[in-house]
Amino acid sequence: MGTFMAFTRSLGHHYIKKSKSHNFSQLFDLSKLIGPSEISNPNFDGSFHQLQSRKTLILEPASSESVKLQRLSDSDPGIVEVNLDRPGAKNAIGKEMLRGLRATFETISRDDSANVVMICSSVPKVFCAGADLKERKTMTPSEVQFFVNTLRSTFSLIEELCIPTIAVIEGTALGGGLEMALSCDLRICEEDAVLGLPETGLAIIPGAGGTQRLPRLVGKSVAKELIFTGRKIGGREAMSIGLVNYSVPAGEARLKALEVAREINQKGPIAIRLAKKAINEGLGIDLASALELEEECYEQLLNTKDRLEGLAAFAEKRKPRYTGE
């Protein structure tokens, strides 16, 4: 149990660290994530590699009342939608919702048939109001630290999915809600959306990735101003500073996201995954090493059936039929 607890705190690094003891069972039911048979398996060490190797999972509903997972339709089988649905708390993230988020994205990470993920809200005029502060008032400092660490690792799990992720921001995205959106590849919001990281007003800092992902998107100076002041911005300003990819009229964010998701879903799925890998990993290394990474990724595509199908479709002036092989 201690090894797996450490994994949840540093999942993005793909290795196991020693960690202090926490009451992990209060936050997650491990059997819901990976199955009781695997927990009892003496060869299971809780590593990300072992979890990733389970690629035969059929997409199932998330085991949470506040996080719903579904495929859109038979016509868009590669697009999956995650819906935040906690209307009584404006989608504020508490322990139960965090369990649902992690279980949901673990499920998606093990499903080869998923090509694009849309994170939406079922609650009108709110994407996510951030952490559940009412629940947090009941926590000890160590419980708060563990919760925030787990939230951070969950958002890293979203960021590290091998397929594209799109945050559909309709309404308010504050604190942890904006940090969740920042962990996605693309962000689409409505013009009347309200985005911000107000944590300094509560005498804390954004602790689930906000201090790191925001400056990487909008630049150091702009990120400092937004975090230092806790200022909230609208959709148009968010687009002007590069925080979101699109700002659209009210009621059109999901339609725009679906349009983008369908465009991605029509492309070669292996190519999309390797393009994401090349971009994400390449940005963290020097240019010469990044170009070598690009070469390695390209080489992996040379012998795929999809590459040959793409050439054939181009020659025959028809739409390609990619299978992910």
Distance from C-alpha of 130 to C-alpha of 139, rounded to nearest angstrom: 16
Length of the chain: 325
Q: Which amino acid is at 211?
A: T
Q: Which helix (H) or strand (E) holds 183?
A: none
Cα 231 to Cα 172, 184, 198, 212, 314, distances in angstroms: 13, 22, 7, 17, 49
Distance from C-alpha of 211 to C-alpha of 278, rounded to nearest angstrom: 24
DSSP 319: -
Produce one character per residue of 108-136: b if its CB has 16 or more CB atoms within 10 Å, e if not.
bbbbeebbbbbbbbebeebbbbbbbeebe
Distance from C-alpha of 254 to C-alpha of 86, rounded to nearest angstrom: 18
Contact 185, 203 (CB under 8 A): no
Q: Which helix (H) or strand (E) holds 111?
A: none
Active site residues: 131, 176, 179, 199
Q: What are phi and psi of 318, to 5 degrees?
A: -135, 170
Distance from C-alpha of 249 to C-alpha of 124, rounded to nearest angstrom: 15
Produce one character per residue of 177-188: b if its CB has 16 or more CB atoms within 10 Å, e if not.
bbbbbbbbbbbb
Q: What are phi and psi of 80, to 5 degrees?
A: -115, 150
Distance of CA 5 to the CA centre of its chain: 20
